[in-house]
Amino acid sequence: MSQQFSNYIKIIGKGQKGGRSLTRQEAYESMKMVLSNQVTGDQRGAFLMLLRTREETPEEVIGFVDACRELLEPELANLTPTLDVGCYAGKRRQLPWYLLSIAVLANNGYTIMLHGAHEPGSGRLYASKALPALGLPEASNIADASDQMNEYGATYLDLSHLLPALNTLIKLREVFALRSCANTLARLLNPTSAPYCVQGVYHMHLDHKHCRVNESFPAFQALCFRGDGGDPEVNSERKTELYITRNGSTEEIILPELTDKMALKDTQMDVNDMLALWRGESTHLYGEQAIQATLVSYLILLENYDFAKANEVATQMWSQRNKTALPFGPK
């Protein structure tokens, strides 16, 4: 048992009057101990669930992210994507249509780093399960991911290969029946230090917290929004607040509704439906608006376009896709 770590538990768990939040340095030190397996299982569980009960402050999350990034594999520096996209929520009502928006970007010269995790028994469709059918097999290590990015313009690397200790924390949901801050940290990780980063969140106000964290890391520009199911996909059946952080300052852009029709839950969740739409063999009410709106939001981040210009370019890119090839494929 670590007495030093017990003090961190005491700081956050002493109650409304006696407790306080951690400083950035304390958060960094405590999370580094957790990730380095320097604490007992009981200490780890108490720490994570105390944080879950009262929610982490932006300052704490910043310190936790500092610790996570320090423990990343140095070989990740060999990956130099334009855009980082975390895929951690998994879809349960609609297919992961945002992956076709990413495929369009890859086909237009952008390089994309996809990373994610999956929680057994969640009943969700994760990006890692859909991507192979779309032409992008999961990379098994960092070297494979580098080769794949050079060949395809995109790669997907599971968190278990990027930062196994953080992946272990995510999997603890099976024990706690609750998610921990690990899910937030993974979305904020940007493991290759890509100049642009997209973060989809689910819960109200989490987008505001992400903004405060992103403002502390001005080396990259970030887009955060409340995505469909928590994944980085815009559902334009309603207006979406896009929060774009550049050089330590955040701007809010309202993405208007692109449809006035509400799609029913997809009961089949068949990735072949995504391929059929890509090939122009079918239409899909939800899928088409989600692809367009998501591509628009990504282009606003990447090119600093206004909505009208981003919408025009997104429409052109989608219409000029290669319908005879898989969405992801060799350059």
Query: Are 19 and 12 within 8 A, CB to CB?
Result: yes
pTM for this prediction: 0.95
Amino acid at position 133, single letter: A
Residue 128's contacts (CB-CB under 8 Å, 6 or more residues apart) are 87, 116, 118, 138, 156, 158
How does strand 154-158 pair with strand 196-201?
unpaired
Q: What is the residue-wise DSSP string for 5-45?
A: HHHHHHHHHS-TTT--PPPHHHHHHHHHHHHTT-S-HHHHH
85 and 114 Cβ atoms separated by less than 8 Å: yes
The span from the CA of 193 to the CA of 225, in Å, is: 20
First CA to last CA distance, the chain? 52
Alpha helices in 121-219 (DSSP H): 127-130, 142-152, 159-162, 164-171, 173-176, 182-188, 206-215
Residues 270-324 pLDDT 10s: 999 999 999 999 999 899 999 999 999 999 999 999 999 999 999 999 999 999 9
In angstroms, the CA 228 to CA 197 distance is 17
Mean pLDDT in the chain?
Answer: 94
pLDDT at 111: 98
Q: Which domains does the chain have, with CATH numbers?
A: 3-70 (1.20.970.10), 79-319 (3.40.1030.10)
Token digits for 158?
């599971």
**What pLDDT, on the 0 to 100 scale, is given for residue 189?**
97
Q: What is the pLDDT of residue 231?
A: 97
| Cα 203 from Cα 184, distance rounded (Å) | 11
Helix axes 206-215, 58-70, angle to 10 degrees: 60
